[in-house]
Chains A and B, each alone.
Chain A
Amino acid sequence: MSTQSRSVHRWKDDPVLTVEHMSMRFGGLLAINNLSFEVGRGDITALIGPNGAGKTTVFNCVTGFYKPTEGRIVARHGTGAQVAAVEHATTKGKRWHSTDAGAVFLLERMPDYEISQKAKVARTFQNIRLFSGMTLLENLLVAQHNPLMVASGYTIGGILGLKSFKRAEKAATEKAAYWLDHVGLIDRADDAAGDLPYGDQRRLEIARAMCLEPLVLCLDEPAAGLNPRESADLNLLLRYIRETHGTSILLIEHDMGVVMEISDHVIVLDYGVKIADGDAAEVKSDPRVVAAYLGVDDEAEIDVPEVRKDLIEVTGRTKKGAGDE
């Protein structure tokens, strides 16, 4: 496409996550239509678009909560696109394939719990889903369930009180304390998560996802409902996560301040179709993005040849603007 040829995009060369020709159909509704994009390793990638554009559907497909109707979603450990490994896994019907260079995971074939456990793709939710009757510490310990399960000898060693399990539990508590410290909630570690104010709950959910040591962190509207100061803190936290832990971040966001400030790469969705893909500056100036966000209110604007062409492509109509529906 024309936008992508403008500059060199490094996410093409080293994608940690690729979505390839993905479609998602709910009965008669085509929520996602032939969507392809890459998430670069170590990038902060933003997925934006008007309400109902299908952003959360993309998240649900990537994290295994929905099975996409068509398409392939690949997560990669180790560097590079690992094309051969991906092809090997695809043709042999495997869910993942590890090589010397790393490992590839075909997420559309994996159940949701394996995606966070094995492929290391973690997520948060638009409507916060904490374990509100459990303490902050317990919330973060639940996130370390799988390594602790192994350490407890699948419960048997834990019942017998093995030393190795006690050590593992101590390490897990320390990791939880580390993240609680970094989201500024260490003083409330022993309070119920449901007692926290809204902004703190959002940060706790990010901390909980980080306890999975993810390679890709998917955040569904992390800044929703935050005040400007909390938003700024969130930016700092995301940068810290990326820089210190090398985690790639894919986020859905409506707050353009957050998006434009921290994103390396922005993907714009509208009606389940990608309408722009590039860095923040490219996307901001893209006429189709402007049209999708602000609506196209008269014929004059549609007469810009590029916008009209894209509108036809997107909506299949010639007259009405996309924003009118």
Chain B
Amino acid sequence: MAGTGQVPAGTTPVAPKNADVPQTRMARALRESLIAGALAAILGFFFLALRTDIVTGGLNVTTRWGLWLTAIAIVFAGRMALNLFWFDRDWGSGKPARKTIVAALPSGKTVGRVALLFALVLPFLFMALFPNKDRQFIDLSILIMTYIMLGWGLNIVVGLAGLLDLGYVAFYAVGAYSFGLSAHYLGLGFWTALPMAGLLAATWGLILGFPVLRLRGDYLAIVTLAFGEMIRIVLINWNDFTGGPNGISGIPKPTFFGLEIGRGEGSFGDVFGIPYDPIHRFVFLYYIILVLALLTNFVTMRLRRLPIGRAWEALREDEIACRSLGINTRNTKLSAFSIGAMFAGFAGSFFATRQGFISPESFTFLESAIILAIVVLGGLGSQIGIVIASVVMVGGIELLRNLNFLKQVFGPSFEPTEFRMLIFGLAMVVIMVWKPRGLVSTREPSATLKEKKLIKADQVAQGEGH
């Protein structure tokens, strides 16, 4: 019956189509809901309708018809609602509607400026609004900002150059350990060690990149993963030098132009006449990572508009064409790899100074996976997307710790923290279904002749190993 309703709709003009649609829509929705309900009945029969309990001497079967019927009713109603309000929406008019929303949204630049302003006043906002929880919130902001910086760094490798790097955390570890070890053995401070950490990480990027970057696609991803693990395993096993699994402790805190942030004579508070408050240290750390992250962003944005950045993106699009245009693909890949590694090195030495203690435990593959997930979720190559993704991913996981209100809904035996990862995974799946190319998937051209037009995601290549 749906078929007969549709045939004239396709061939005749608009008026009869509109008359036919509600009827066939209702009929189709009803039919599909019935099918869904029947499936739920069959599947649920064993799980819901029958219940077995172990009793002495065997199993005791009880039936729960009420529960079973309720489940069927929910599935039926749910499918009905989906059909009527979601599947059968007029997609033809839906697309332009979405475009106008995009047009109505403020441009990337405005969003970036607002976000920057917000980031600049954030610690004071927390101190004013949540005087009891400000330490916790600023600490969380520091964590998020670290991941934003790591995401931006990895974005150069994965998003721009299109090289899938699963071992990015290795360079984070190199940065952290180069500060940890130089503080431990040489007594260097944070600000001296910071450029050194970046340089060392970049050098390791070159050393590891040299053999790895000959590979393409999945092989590249696997070997970067292996190299990432190798660095961690070396750190665990080189007991005499790195302290092995015990790690390095007592890493010094950063100073403010030579002034310590702390109590006592000659400290920051003493010199400026501000009474000591432990929060100062957190605020200071927050601004350090903010500056480092902004530096990463600034350099990346600049590089994108330079020939090297354009070559990275061209490499992601088509490596063979690059070679035919005189681009030395090996050097170009290496430059992306080592510049990405350098920013991970900066972030790593910040991590060391923030924690005051580092061990190989902090640099597992999971860390690489989270950073990569941030980049992919944010949209490959998009700077603002990575910020949103970091806030959602890192902040989201933390927020899910505070789900105690769910106890009031599900009863006191419900332990919400156990469902943290489940909820989080579900959210990720939903986002990837809704926006398979990441939250911000359009590409902004690096040069324009007359007017800037965003490039749709389906034209942009994703590079190796995706």
Contacts and interface: CB of A to CB of B under 8 A. Distances in A.
Given A152-B307, A191-B453, A134 B445 contact: yes
B459 A159 contact: no
Interface in A169-200: 173, 176-177, 180, 186, 189-195
B337 to A, nearest CB: 15
B327 interface: yes
A198 to B, nearest CB: 15
Interface stretch (A69-77, A109-117, A260-268): A109-117
A133 B454 CA distance: 10
Given A116-B324, A133-B461, A192-B455, A148 B314 contact: no
Interface string A89-113: 0000000000000000000000011
A100 B407 CA distance: 88
Contacts of B328: 113
Contact of A65 (B307, B311, B320): B320
A148 B299 CA distance: 18
B452 A141 contact: no
Interface in B289-333: 299, 302-303, 306-308, 310-311, 313-314, 316-318, 320-329
B322 A135 contact: no
Contacts of A137: 445, 447-449
A131 B321 contact: yes
Number of chain A interface residues as a range: 35 or more
A170 B460 CA distance: 26
B321 A129 contact: yes
Contacts of A307: none
Given A122-B324, A133-B317, A142 B303 contact: no
Nearest to B446: A138
A313 B319 CA distance: 40
A158 B306 contact: yes
B299, B307, B318 — which one has the most chain A CB atoms within 10 A of its CB?
B307
B451 interface: yes
Contacts of B449: 137, 173, 176-177, 180, 186, 189-190
A136 B204 CA distance: 36
B459 A132 contact: yes
B324 A125 contact: yes
Which of A125, A131, A138, A152 is most buried by chain B, counting CB atoms within 10 A of its CB?
A131
Interface string B79-107: 00000000000000000000000000000
Contact of A113 (B308, B323, B451, B461): B323
Contacts of A192: 455-456, 459
Contacts of B451: 190
Nearest to A63: B324
A149, A186, A191 — which one has the most chain B CB atoms within 10 A of its CB?
Answer: A149
B450 interface: yes
B327 A131 contact: no
A323 B461 CA distance: 41
B121 to A, nearest CB: 29
Nearest to A180: B449
Nearest to B302: A159
B443 interface: yes
A129 B445 contact: no
A158 B307 CA distance: 9
B450 A189 contact: yes
A130 interface: yes
A138 B299 CA distance: 20
A202 interface: no
A164 interface: no
B306 A134 contact: no
A145 interface: yes
A208 B325 contact: yes
Interface string B423-455: 000000000000000000001011111111101
A72 B299 CA distance: 45
A190 B299 CA distance: 24
B317 A132 contact: yes
Contacts of A203: none
Nearest to B449: A189
B324 A149 contact: no
Interface in A223-253: none
Interface string B328-361: 1100000100000000000000000000000000
B327 A145 contact: yes
Contact of A138 (B320, B325, B445): B445
A67 interface: no
A239 B283 CA distance: 68
Contacts of B299: 159
Contact of A148 (B307, B317, B450): B307
Interface centre among B316, B329, B445 (most CB of A within 10 A): B445
Nearest to B299: A159
Contact of B325 (A180, A193, A212): A212
A113 B327 contact: yes
* Best-surrounded residue of A64, A117, A132, A134 (most CB of chain B within 10 A): A134
A135 B447 contact: yes
B303 A159 contact: yes
Contacts of B307: 141, 144-145, 148-149, 152, 155, 158
A146 B316 CA distance: 18
A141 B327 CA distance: 12
A146 B446 CA distance: 17
B446 A114 contact: no
A63 B443 CA distance: 32
Contacts of A142: 310-311, 314, 322, 325, 327
A190 B449 CA distance: 6
Contacts of A176: 449
Contact of B329 (A113, A152, A186): A113
Nearest to B306: A158
A143 interface: yes
A177 to B, nearest CB: 6
B326 A141 contact: no
A116 B329 CA distance: 13
B311 A145 contact: yes
A135 B308 contact: no
A137 B299 CA distance: 23
Given A138-B445, A141-B447, A159-B302, A133 B324 contact: no
Contacts of B326: 113-117, 145-146, 212
9 contacts: A65-B324, A114-B326, A116-B326, A131-B317, A133-B317, A137-B447, A142-B311, A149-B307, A158-B307
Given A176-B449, A190-B452, 7 more contacts: A125-B324, A133-B455, A135-B455, A142-B327, A145-B310, A148-B307, A190-B453
Q: Would you list the 4 A-B pairs with minimal beta carbon distance, nearest first?
A: A133-B460, A117-B326, A131-B317, A194-B459
